[in-house]
């Protein structure tokens, strides 16, 4: 098993120490090869908001070469660790830059055979803010989330008693994660996963010449077929499937109602709504 840690942090800080501890404890349950990838070394530039990745395909991103180097490493691994400390109640800037660039995966997921672990170092007040962007991308991109945990390693010496308590809590989560990584059970879908699938399918039907990359992806996955319940063959609860199809019809109806269909026919690629009338 190969585990790649995608690090949105310093090489010499507490988050790195936390991930090292995770690997050390996990090695008592599993045999694996570990690798660290520090996003700061990847030198990915800020997303410029061109939306080429969404509408035309990720290869049209001006920073595709560097982003793809990271994604190729992810594809080569069996398990991914996303790790970030909490900065301003969210992930670090370097992690956010990465997630911005790979957000297209939530439209066209490809990590169906991968598992992911989310690790954070922050105070309890930041838990929601830090995990939301990482967990949203992981789920949308197709990963099976094997587990997540956080702790608050302070930037000053802590007593052995305090550290021992933190380790007990962390170790408990690592045991659960180890069991999940060893399990061969397929990913269990949440309704949100199914809802996203049906929403994007509805949008592709309405605007195939704008959502060019998404439309091509859905066609290749044979996801436009009536029998398709998700991007790949997987067990979808009957209720989720029913509600998803219902939601798709509602989205299609509502979006179509508010769209200039005749003008839509003339557009290919990204469209920008102009709020100011030209004089």
Tell me the β-bridge partners of 145.
Answer: 116
- The verdict on 120 and 142 lying in the same domain is yes
- The verdict on 151 and 196 lying in the same domain is no
pTM of the complete model:
0.92
- Over residues 163-173, the mean pLDDT reads 96
Token pair 């992911």: residue: 116
Which of 153, 182, 211 terminates a domain? The answer is 182
pLDDT band at 77 (very low <50, low <70, confident <90, very high): very high
Q: Is 274 within a domain?
A: no
CATH code of residue 15: 3.40.50.360
- The verdict on 127 and 219 lying in the same domain is no
Tokens for 150, please give them: 């956080």
Per the structure, how many domains does the chain have? 2
- The verdict on 173 and 195 lying in the same domain is no
Domain hosting residue 51, numbered range: 2-182
Q: Is 46 within a domain?
A: yes
The pLDDT tens digits for 202-235 are: 999 999 999 999 999 999 999 999 899 999 999 9
- The verdict on 102 and 31 lying in the same domain is yes
- The verdict on 241 and 133 lying in the same domain is no
Q: Is 81 within a domain?
A: yes
Q: Is 139 within a domain?
A: yes
- Is residue 89 left, alpha or beta, with left meaning phi > 0 and alpha meaning psi from -120 to 50? left
Q: How far apart are the first and last CA of the chain?
A: 63
Integer Cα distance of 94 and 15 in angstroms: 14
- The verdict on 196 and 251 lying in the same domain is yes
């Amino acid at each position: 098993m190969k585990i790649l840690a995608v690090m949105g942090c310093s090489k010499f800080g507490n988050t790195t120490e936390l991930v090292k501890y995770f690997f050390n404890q996990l090695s008592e349950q599993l045999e694996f090869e570990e690798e660290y990838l520090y996003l700061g070394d990847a030198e990915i530039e800020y997303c410029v908001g061109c939306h080429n990745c969404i509408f035309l395909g990720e290869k049209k991103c001006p920073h595709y070469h560097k982003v793809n180097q990271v994604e190729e490493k992810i594809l080569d691994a069996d398990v991914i660790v996303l790790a970030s400390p909490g900065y301003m109640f969210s992930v670090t800037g370097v992690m956010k830059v990465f997630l911005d660039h790979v957000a297209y995966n939530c439209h066209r997921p490809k990590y169906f055979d991968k598992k992911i672990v989310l690790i954070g170092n922050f105070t309890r007040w930041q838990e929601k803010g830090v995990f939301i962007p990482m967990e949203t991308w992981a789920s949308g991109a197709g990963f099976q989330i094997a587990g997540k945990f956080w702790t608050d390693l302070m930037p000053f010496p802590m007593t052995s008693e305090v550290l021992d308590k933190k380790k007990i809590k962390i170790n408990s989560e690592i045991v659960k994660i180890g069991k999940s990584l060893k399990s061969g059970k397929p990913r269990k879908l949440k309704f949100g996963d199914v809802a996203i699938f049906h929403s994007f399918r509805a949008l592709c039907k309405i605007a195939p010449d704008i959502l060019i990359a998404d439309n091509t992806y859905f066609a290749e996955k044979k996801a436009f077929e009536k029998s398709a319940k998700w991007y790949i063959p997987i067990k979808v609860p009957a209720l989720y499937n029913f509600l998803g199809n219902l939601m798709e019809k509602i989205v299609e109806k509502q979006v179509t109602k508010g769209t200039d269909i005749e003008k839509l026919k003339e557009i290919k690629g990204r469209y920008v709504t102009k709020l100011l009338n030209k004089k």
